[in-house]
Structure 1
Amino acid sequence: MKKMPIGISNFKEIIEKNYYYVDKTLLIKEILDDGSKVILLTRPRRFGKTINMSMLKYYFENTKKDNSYLFKDLKIFSQGEMYIKNQGKYPVIFITLKDIKNSTWEMTYSKIKACIEEEYDRFAFLAESDRLTEIEKEIFSKIRRGIAKESEYENSLKYLTEYLDKHYGVAPILLLDEYDVPIQSGYVNGFYDKIIEFIRNWLSGAVKDNNHISFSIMTGILRIGKESIFSGMNNLKVRTLLDNQYSEYFGFTEDEIVKMLRDYQREKEFEVVKEWYNGYVFGETQIYNPWSIINYIDNKSSNPQAYWLHTSSNDVIHDVIKNSNTRIQENLIRLMEGSVIEELIDTNIIYKDIYKEDNYLFSFLLLAGYLKVNEVRQNEFGFTVARLSIPNKEIRTVYRQEIMTQISNGINPMEQIKMVKSLVLGDVDTFEKIFTSLLLKTTSFHDSPESFYHGFMLGITTLLIDSYIIKSNRESGYGRFDLSMVPREKDKPAVIMEFKKANSKEELDEKAKEALLQIEEKQYETDIYDLGIDKIYKYGISFIGKEFSISRNKA
């Protein structure tokens, strides 16, 4: 059986070394049929963008060695002469920024320069081309040797397209993979404006009104439209995961999964694979996570794992949970329970606006692959509204693991679970012991509002979400309780919590009793009793800084 190409994104290596390859070469046909000058394809990380871009490079590139042998047994060579004649016809510029994830602008700029210089070095012969002027050769040599000015690096793609067009008499194809990876790093690490300015200048010269390219394909997560990176570019076509065009080429379709499992004699595992790795919807196409699938098959075990958990992509969820407000946390819990939420979707969001509006954040989670679209419609104002849910069991596991990581601060995960379980067992002593340790290890609780503790407890109760329905700020009886845990099996006890912020340490016990009394007087347990659940633990919890007090009813 063929080996799985884990960590291999070079198309030529996959074919020559006989790794398993899911044939996506009809992407070539769709690009040629499209005819657009500049196409931006936005997809989540680890969905095969780099392999596809490498495949395009080897198909179109004019090289001394004929690369047609790589494609002779693939779908594109059965599509007719009009497609085959484009094979090996063009000079191709191919740059990937997927590994530029640095914490400083200086290191990021240095690595982008290195990518540019490496690509210039592939075309070293241009320094001797009799079709370039002496000034052009000088600029080319300075960039290739790494001694050019920043302004010259900003124009480096534009220069290279011009020089290749002159030398070959054929305008090159420009392939730019994962263009927004360093932009995300800039957002996270505080050099956002610098990276945006560079990428804007770098790309606009290369693809805006540039007659020296045949066409350009770019990939990333976001369009970054509002940044004016692509402003005034009337030749740009953007295809997001909401569009039908190109929907089947990034990730695996169900037919491809069925064939793959059959090839490895693992057809009986289809339902497990579907539960864990299916669920994405690109346009109207059901898609499986390719990174997780190839790791699952390579593992030769029928026990699924959250393979995406070990990729850098999960910095996204880490950041979201860290910065989320109570409403976002409540929606995340509803999603983890398997519910559907409805949000406005904006595919033109930018990194620095992610937390300005809740719907921007959920738009980002969708585009990054952490949510799927169940239904899309236009509201009466013409805005796109989507019904969203978590795609599969793997992503649900990713959410849970990141929640545990955010809360832990050195607390063993099993201790966290033990702490939450103590609430449903009425074991106040165990809860106090573990929670005290957790608060001491958690930074900056001083002067935190009640909503902070509410959100903190909301997050940690999700560890039991398979057994309990978590509800926050819901009406019941004669008011709205802070937090409840309703068992999915009626013979188990329920939990209701009310939180109060004390003004002094001396006030802690009094405020905890006041919170418990509020639960009793407002009869927050009404809806739970209506479900046929007889046993309910009620907790009044008061906080100040890193200290707390807890009162419990006699259930």
Structure 2
Amino acid sequence: MKKMPIGISNFKEIIENNYYYIDKTLLIKEILDDGSKVILLTRPRRFGKTINISMLKYFFEKSEEDKSYLFKGLKIFSQNNVYTKNQGKYPVIFITLKDIKNSNWEMTYNKIKKCIEEEYDRFALLANSECLTEIEKETFNKIRTGIASESDYENSLKYLTEYLDKHFGVAPILLLDEYDVPIQSGYTNGFYDKIIEFIRNWLSGAVKDNNHISFSIMTGILRIGKESIFSGMNNLKVRTILDNQYSEYFGFTEDEIIEMLKYYGREEELETVKEWYDGYIFGKTEIYNPWSIINYIDNKGSAPQAYWLNTSSNDVIHDVIKNSNINIQKNIIKLMEGSSIEEIIDTNIIYLDIYKDDNYLFSLLLLSGYLKAMDTIQNEFGFTVAKLAIPNKEIKIAYRQEIMIQISKGINTMEQIKMVNALVSGDVFTFEKIFTSFLIKTTSFHDSSESFYHGLMLGITTLLIDKYMIKSNRESGFGRFDLVLIPREKEKVAIIMEFKKANTKEELRYKEFKNEIK
């Protein structure tokens, strides 16, 4: 049985070591048929972006060693010569920024420099090329040895494309993987403006009106459009998860999953795999999470786990829940209950705008893989409106974990569980004891509005989402309740909550009395 390529994103290593490989080589055909000069493909993390970019590198790259053996028996070699004649014909620049996740600008800049220097070193032959001028060779060596100016590093991709075109007489292909990873770190750690300025200048020279590239393929999670990173690039084509083109090449299709399970003799586990890791929709294609699938298959006989969530911190969903208002919280509860919500989707969102509008938050969750889009339409005003839902059980766990983290400051997980169990069992004394301790440890004197406690209890009660339907601020009879927990099993008790603000216990009792009279 072939091994699973866990943590391996180098196409050559996967093929040479006989790892299980789901054939995505027809991506090459589609790119060549497309003919676009610059293509940006945005997908969630760990959905196969890096391995596909690596595959493109080994197919197109001109090298002393013939790499065609890597593609024997794969789908691209079943095509006609129109495609295979491109194999091994181009110099290829390949840079991935997927591991540049640093807490300050200096470390980020130094790591990007290192990536550039290593790529320059791969083309060390240019240092003595008769096709380059002495000034060009001097600039090349400064960048290669790490002593160039920041301006030179900003222009380094542009220079390298020119030098390679001159030396080989063939314009190179530029492959840039996960271009926006350091941008997200910049936003999270306070050096957003600096990283945006650098990436903007770096990419602009390389792909905007550059006759020294044959074409460029870039990948990322978001299209950072409004900061003008891609300003004026009339040759740029963007394909997001809402588009049909390229939809089957990132992540696994159901046919590919069925074939994989059959190979490992585990066909009977399809429904389990579907419940946990299916549910994504790219364009009109049903997609399974590839990272979770290969880990599940590799972890023979073990129960399903949230593998994708354990690969890194869920910064996106963490920030959304942390900064959410009551409306966002109510929508998240609807999603966790298995319902869908309708939102305007903007695929050009930028990090600085995320909290300016609820639509941006849900757009971010969609593009990052925490939601799926169904029934996407253009409304009469030209906006893209999508019906959104949580794709699968694994992602539902992510929401629950992050909600527990947000309400857990000052109270551990077991105490949270004891508190909500006391609430639904009618053990008011235990609930009040834990809840009071929780409030003393976590809340401020200034957290005194009804809406604050409403949001707090909304978060706490989501731990009961599998057993209770949670409704907030709904009309009922002649009034409106604040929060109600409706049991999914009729024999269990329902819970209705009313939140009141008062300065004294006596005032609170008076408000309770008035409420009873009403």
Instruction: Give me the TM-score of the superposition, normalised by structure 1.
Output: 0.91
Aligned-partner Cα distance in 1 for 2:479–2:159 = 67
- What is the aligned partner in structure 2 of residue 158 from structure 1? 158
Map of 1:6-405 to 2, 5 A cutoff? 6-312=6-312, 314-405=314-405
Aligned-partner Cα distance in 1 for 2:163–2:85 = 24
Aligned-partner Cα distance in 2 for 1:332–1:447 = 23
Question: Residues 426-460 of structure 1: CA distance to partner in whole angstroms, max 9, x if unpaired?
Answer: 21211122223322332646344322221111111
Measured on the aligned residues, the alpha-carbon RMSD in Å equals 1.3
Compute the displacement of 1:477 (Å): 2.2
Aligned-partner Cα distance in 2 for 1:446–1:114 = 48
Would the aligned equivalents of 1:45 and 1:313 in 2 still touch at CA under 8 Å? no
Cα 1:379–1:132, aligned 2, differ >3 Å: closer, same or farther? same
Cα 1:521–1:135, aligned 2, differ >3 Å: closer, same or farther? farther
Cα 1:520–1:80, aligned 2, differ >3 Å: closer, same or farther? farther
1:513 equivalent among 498, 509, 514: 509
Cα 1:290–1:521, aligned 2, differ >3 Å: closer, same or farther? farther
- What is the aligned partner in structure 2 of residue 525 from structure 1? none
Cα 1:71–1:521, aligned 2, differ >3 Å: closer, same or farther? farther
Compute the displacement of 1:241 (Å): 0.5
Aligned-partner Cα distance in 2 for 1:187–1:23 = 36
Question: Residues 508-528 of structure 1: CA distance to partner in whole angstroms, max 9, x if unpaired?
Answer: x23543564466455xxxxxx
Compute the displacement of 1:302 (Å): 4.8
Question: Residues 465-509 of structure 1: CA distance to partner in whole angstroms, max 9, x if unpaired?
Answer: 000001111111222221111101111011111222334xxx1x2
Aligned-partner Cα distance in 1 for 2:445–2:69 = 63
Compute the displacement of 1:283 (Å): 0.4
- What is the aligned partner in structure 2 of residue 530 from structure 1? none
- Other structure's SS at 2:252 match: coil
- Other structure's SS at 1:460 match: helix
Compute the displacement of 1:379 (Å): 1.3
Aligned-partner Cα distance in 2 for 1:323–1:330 = 13
**1:510 is matched by which residue type in structure 2?**
E
Question: Residues 141-170 of structure 1: CA distance to partner in whole angstroms, max 9, x if unpaired?
Answer: 111111111111000000000001111000
- What is the aligned partner in structure 2 of residue 540 from structure 1? none
- Unpaired segments of 5 or more residues in structure 2? none
Aligned-partner Cα distance in 1 for 2:426–2:226 = 52
Would the aligned equivalents of 1:498 and 1:519 in 2 still touch at CA under 8 Å? no
- Unpaired segments of 5 or more residues in structure 1? 523-555
Would the aligned equivalents of 1:341 and 1:389 in 2 still touch at CA under 8 Å? yes
- What is the aligned partner in structure 1 of residue 497 from structure 2? 497
- Other structure's SS at 1:354 match: helix
- More deviation in 19-28 or 409-418? 409-418
Cα 1:427–1:194, aligned 2, differ >3 Å: closer, same or farther? same
Aligned-partner Cα distance in 1 for 2:83–2:247 = 20
Cα 1:271–1:166, aligned 2, differ >3 Å: closer, same or farther? same
User: Runs of at least 4 residues of structure 1 off by over 3 A?
Assistant: 443-448, 510-522
**1:166 is matched by which residue type in structure 2?**
K
Aligned-partner Cα distance in 1 for 2:148–2:261 = 51
Instruction: Give me the TM-score of the superposition, normalised by structure 2.
Output: 0.98
- Other structure's SS at 1:480 match: strand
Question: Residues 103-130 of structure 1: CA distance to partner in whole angstroms, max 9, x if unpaired?
Answer: 1111111111111111111111111111
Compute the displacement of 1:83 (Å): 0.7
Between Structure 1 and Structure 2, how many residues are aligned?
A: 518
| Structure possessing the higher relative contact order (Cα contacts under 8 Å, 6 or more residues apart) | 2
Cα 1:396–1:64, aligned 2, differ >3 Å: closer, same or farther? same
- Other structure's SS at 1:344 match: strand
Compute the displacement of 1:214 (Å): 0.2
**1:494 is matched by which residue type in structure 2?**
A
Aligned-partner Cα distance in 2 for 1:370–1:4 = 25
Compute the displacement of 1:395 (Å): 0.4
Aligned-partner Cα distance in 2 for 1:424–1:16 = 57
Would the aligned equivalents of 1:308 and 1:398 in 2 still touch at CA under 8 Å? no
Aligned-partner Cα distance in 2 for 1:287–1:418 = 38
Aligned-partner Cα distance in 2 for 1:513–1:339 = 38
Question: Residues 214-260 of structure 1: CA distance to partner in whole angstroms, max 9, x if unpaired?
Answer: 00000011111111110110000000000000000000000000001
Aligned-partner Cα distance in 2 for 1:515–1:257 = 59
Aligned-partner Cα distance in 1 for 2:183–2:262 = 41
